[in-house]
Structure 1
Amino acid sequence: MSAEAADLGNYAVDFLACVPPSLVLHDEDESYSIPGRTITQNGGTVWDASSSDVREHYPTDRDALRIVQYDSCRGLEGWCVINYAFDDLFDYKYQQWLSSPQDLGGLFDTREELAAAFAAQWSMIPLTRAMDTLVINISGRQSTVKDALRKVYERRSDFTEWMKI
């Protein structure tokens, strides 16, 4: 995909990759995303803002893929956006709502319905970051998110692709 983007005049910095907390590791003195570490170990360049010291400076290398955690993606865009472990994001936001002390009533009857609504609403933020191409990575496990995305693909296979890698 990056060769195709380069042919169109885009660089890695024009891309945006989002990761959930489950893909961020914290060693003694550093934090990094698993995709970012994998890319750098294979000779690529990243601006991995899952590390707080990296976030202090904006990306200046046009060949560096920008990586942020989902919680930080609001307001950012990319020609191509890669949403890593998107089903983990949904689970993370679902659990985040369940563990919060708020008691928000309304249209839903149960805490689980409220948590699912919160997670679904929050999931729309990274789904709207792409200007041209959106890549959604999901795990191999069963999930509500995977089932919903599969239904979208089945209804809109004229402009979506479902790939297993």
Structure 2
Amino acid sequence: MEEYVTFLLNGGADPYTVAHYCTITKFFMKKIGAPINHTYKIPRDAKRRHDLKHQRRWFTDQDIAQCMTYQFPVMHVRNHLLVRLLVETGARINEIAHITVGNVNFGKRTILISYSKTIPRPVFFSQESGIFMKRYFKTDRVTPKKNQATDDRNPGYL
């Protein structure tokens, strides 16, 4: 299977296309009674390129620069962090709203999006966004008032 993956990559296939081909091949091999135990992991840089490609589909470079440098007059750190995450990760608003402190891995600069329309997935953030996130986590955040049944279970949403 490794040779098959190398063949596809050398032929110019995108890593996401390779993942799809591997899945289809494994499915058919299982159907004919010769299952293959192989996992193809899409490289991190390919995931970043993929996210950037989708980001550029909706925004021009000038739009992105304006979003990244805008100074909010109120609650700047939180608002700026949310805008940066929306622009950088390509995640949906509801996904960003449900990020908890435990979903963030500063070492790998990833956030596990677990509240999603699709499957849970990691998204990547820049070093600058990491600085804003750490700064925000150090502040005393005001959490929305919840009903009494859930007050003691504050998940630490952004």
Structure 1 and Structure 2 fold alike (TM over 0.5): no
RCO comparison, higher one (Cα < 8 Å, 6+): 1
TM-score normalized with structure 1 length = 0.26
Q: Which has the higher helix share?
A: 2
Q: Between Structure 1 and Structure 2, whose CA radius of gyration is higher?
A: 2
Q: Which has the higher strand share?
A: 1
TM-score normalized with structure 2 length = 0.26
